[in-house]
Structure 1
Amino acid sequence: MNIKGVLGAGAIMLAGVAVSCASQAATYAYVSNADSQDISVFSLDKSSGSLAAVETVAVAGTVMPMTFSPDHLRLYAGLRSKPYRVVSFAVNPLDGRLIELGRAPLVDSMAYVSTDATGRYLFSASYGGNLLAVNRIGSDGVVGEVRQTVNTGPMAHAIRSAPDNRYVFASVLGSDAWLRLKFDASNGQLTADAAPAYSLPPKSGPRHFVFSADHRFTYLIDELDGKLHVLAFDSSRDTVKLVQTVSILPPDFSGDKPWGADLHLTPDGHFLYASERTSSTLAAYKVSAASGELTRIGTYQTEKQPRGFNIDPSGKYLLAVGQLSTNLSAYRIDRKTGALSALGQYPVGKGANWIEIVEFEGTNVN
C-alpha cells in the first residue's frame, strides 16, 4: 500500500493527526498472544528477512483473531475472553507502533474477524455461538455497534467477503458446510442462501479459506481430516465446483488425528502453504495458474502447534508461530521453487496464534 495516496504526497493521517513522511518502504508484523494477553510488534527487514522487536502491546484479554482495514491504517483485534470486545488500533506507518482508538462489543467469542472491501463493516464468526455477525466501522476506522447476527450450524469458524464484495462466505466446521451469503454494502446486511455453496464430506471440519489472486479459485482447509480442497468459483454464474482434494499431512504422520489450522497464498498466487498442528508442520504446494491444482513441494517442521502463520506482502518471507511455543520462526520463500529455508527464531508471548503483516511506502519522517 502507498500511504502517500491517503492524503496526498508526503502526508498521512494517524489517529486524526497529519504526519509528514518521505518515501521508503517499511514492513511490520503483528503477533497476537492469547495467554499473555498482548500483541508482539516487529519490523521486518525485506533485504534479509530478519526481525527487530518494536513493542509489546497489552490488551487485557485473550487476543486471537486480527485483521487490517483495507487501507492498512487500522488493525482490529478480537478478544475471546469476557467481556467480548474488538479493539481498534491506529497503525503508525513511521515505526509500526499501535495506538488504541477504542473497543466495541462482539456478540460472542469470535474465532475470526475480517472486513468487507469498503472497510465500513467488520465480519466475525463464532465457533461456540454458532453464528456470524456484522459490526459497523465508522469513518474514523473505529469499530462500532453490532448491526446484525446470522445463525449458522454448529461451530462457525471463518468469514470473508468475496473479492467483488457481492457475497460473503463462511466455513461452518460442525455442519461441514461452506456458506454463501449475499452482502449489501449499502447497509451491511447479510442474507444467507438456502443451501450451502459447497457441502463437504461428513466430519471434514472446514476451517479457513483463501481466494486466489485471479479470483477463480478458493482454497479451503479442513480441521478434522487433514485435507485441503481446491474449489472453482464461477462468479458470473455464482457456482462452485470441486477441482481437487489433497492431504496436508506429512508422509510419516503418526498422530492420533489430523488437526489442520491455517493456509495462505503468496501474493503472486504461485505457492500455497498450510499448517497442521498435530505434527507441527507446514505443507508447501505449487499452484497451477491454469487449473488451480496443487502439487506438493515439501513438508517443513515449525513451531509447536502452529495455529497461525502469514506471508509478507513481497512474497519473500513466511512467519509462523505455535500456541505451545514462545518463539516465532522466519523462513525465506524460494521465488522459483516455493521451498522454505529457515532464517531465525524470535521470542513472542504465550499462546501465540495469529500473525498479520503490512507493508507501507513512505515511512521516514521528513
Structure 2
Amino acid sequence: MSHHHSRRQADLAVYIGNGLGGDISVLRLSGKSGTLSPIQRMPFPGVTQPGRSLPLALSPGREFLYAAMRGAPRGVATFRIDQATGALCELGFAAMTESVAYIRTDLSGRFLFGASYDGNVVTVSPIATDGVAQQVAQRVPTAPNAHGIMGDSDRHVLATSLGGDVLYSFDFDQAAGTLTRPRTTVLPKGTGPRHFIFDPAGKRLYLLGELDASVTVFDYDPKHGTLQTKQVVTMLPAGFDGKPWGADIQITPDGRFLYASERNSSTLASFAVEPDGKLRPLQHIPTETQPRGFGIDPTGRYLVVLGQSTDHATVYAIDGGSGGLGVNDRAEVGKSPDWVEMVELA
C-alpha cells in the first residue's frame, strides 16, 4: 500500500514541445495539488528556424528525452533527464534529411523510429549506449504523409500513411534494427489515419482518423502483427458541421478510458473502454483552442491538453471511476505547443 500511496503523491516532470518557439517548456506538476510550476525553457540546440511542430519521445526507462526539429537544424536532439528535478541537459544532435512529424523509441531503447509527413518515409535510427540518437540507418518509403509510428513489442512496428489511408505493420528485426515485410490495412478513403495507441495488454489498437475525426478499433494479434476491424466511432460533438480535424489519441494506463482531441471544435471526446475493447462514448469536453497534442501521465491521475492557438496548457484531474475530467490548473507555455510527455520524479 505504501508504494501505491507514494505513487499517488509523486510529482511529475512535464515536457512540452513548442513548435514555433523552437524550444521545450519543462514544468513540474504537483502530485498533491495538480498545479504546474515552470522549471526550465530548453531551446532546441542551435535552432535557427523553428518548425511547425516539435515532436518528443521518451526512452523506455525515462532517462532520456528526444526532440525532432522540423525546421533548422533538421534532426533529432537527445537530452538527459534529471530524475529528481526533471531538468534537461543536452547530450547530442543527429542531422536528418527528412522532417519527422512523429518519433518513438523501440521497447529496448536501442532504436528511434520516425514518420516523415513531408518525406513519405518511415525511418530507423540507432541509439548509442549513452542514450544519444544517431543518424538514420534505414528509410522505408510509404504512401503519402507518414504520420505515426510505434512498436507493439519487440516483433512488429506499425505506422500510418494519412494520404494513403493505410496502416502498415512491419516485422522488426531487433538485432539489426530493420523494418521488413510491410503488411497493409486499408482504411476507408478520406479517413486520414494519423496517430494510434495500443491498449495496455497490446491486444487492441485504436486509430485516429484526422480527416473524418473517427476512431477505429482493431483486434490486434501481437504474434503475427495482424489487425481485424471491430468498431468505428466518431469523436465529433453532436451538431458539429465544420471540417473534421482530429489530432491526438490517448488511453489511461489501466485501459479503462480513452480520449481523443479534435481541433476545429476544440473538444476532447471521452470514451469508456468496454471489456471487449469496444468504445462507449461518454462526453465532449470543451478545451484549449486547437488541441493538437495532449497526454496522460504514467500514474493515470492527470491529463494535460495543449492549445496550439492559445500557447497555454490545461491540467485536468481524471476521475478514476467515471473518466470525467475536472480542471486543476492552466499555465502559459511556449509558442504553438503541440507535444507533451510526462515522467514521474523520484
CA RMSD between the two structures: 1.2
Letter in 2 for 1:254: D
Matched, 1:316 2:305: no
Q: How does 1:53-72 map to 2 (within 5 A)?
A: 53-59=38-44, 60=47, 61-62=50-51, 64-72=54-62
Distance of 2:224 and 2:140 partners within structure 1: 25
Structure 2: 5+ residue stretches without partners: 1-8
Matches within 5 A, 1:172-187: 172-187=161-176
Contact 1:75 1:91 in 2 (8 A): yes
- Which one of 231, 235, 239 corresponds to residue 222 of structure 2? 235
Q: What is the alpha-carbon distance in structure 2 between the residues aligned to residue 234 and residue 31 of structure 1?
A: 33
Alpha-carbon distance, 1:326 to partner: 1.4
Question: Contact 1:179/1:192 (CA < 8 Å) preserved in 2?
Answer: no
Aligned to 1:199: 186
Aligned counterpart for 1:219 among listed residues 194, 206, 210: 206
Partner residue of 2:66 out of 76, 85, 88: 76
Where does structure 1 lack aligned partners over 5 or more consecutive residues?
A: 1-23, 362-366
Aligned partners of 1:235, 1:248: CA distance in 2, in Å?
Answer: 27
User: What is the CA distance between 1:237 and its match in structure 2?
Assistant: 4.5
Instruction: Trace 1:154-303 onto structure 2 (pairs within 5 A).
Output: 154-162=144-152, 164-193=153-182, 195-196=183-184, 198-255=185-242, 257-288=243-274, 290-303=275-288
**CA distance in 2: counterparts of 1:237 and 1:145, whole angstroms:** 30
**Change over 3 Å in CA distance of 1:78–1:343 after alignment to 2:** same
CA contact (8 A) 2:171 2:180 kept: yes
Percent of aligned positions that are identical = 42
* Residue identity matched to 1:186: A
**Within 1, Cα distance between the matches of 2:164 and 2:237?**
26
Q: Which residue of 2 aligns with 1:21?
A: none
Give the deviation of 1:82 after TM superposition. Answer: 2.9
SS in 2 for 1:154: coil
What is the CA distance between 1:329 and its match in structure 2?
0.6
Q: Residues of 2 paired with 1:301 and 1:25: CA distance?
A: 28
Distance 1:125 1:237, change over 3 A: closer
Number of matched residues? Answer: 333
Deviations 1:235-266 (A, max 9, x none): 245431111100000112131x1000000000
Q: TM-score of the superposition, structure 2-length normalised?
A: 0.94
Deviation at 1:183, TM superposition (A): 0.5
Whether the 8 Å contact between 1:107 and 1:133 is mirrored in structure 2 is no
Q: Runs of 4+ in structure 1 displaced over 4 angstroms?
A: none
Match among 328, 333, 339 for residue 343 of structure 1: 328
* Number of the residue aligned with 2:131: 141
Amino acid aligned to 1:253? F
- Given that residues 223 and 261 in structure 1 are in contact (C-alpha distance below 8 angstroms), is that contact kept between their aligned partners in structure 2? yes
> SS of the counterpart of 2:24?
strand
Deviations 1:261-319 (CA, angstroms, capped at 9, x unpaired): 0000000000000000010100000001x310011110011111111000111111100
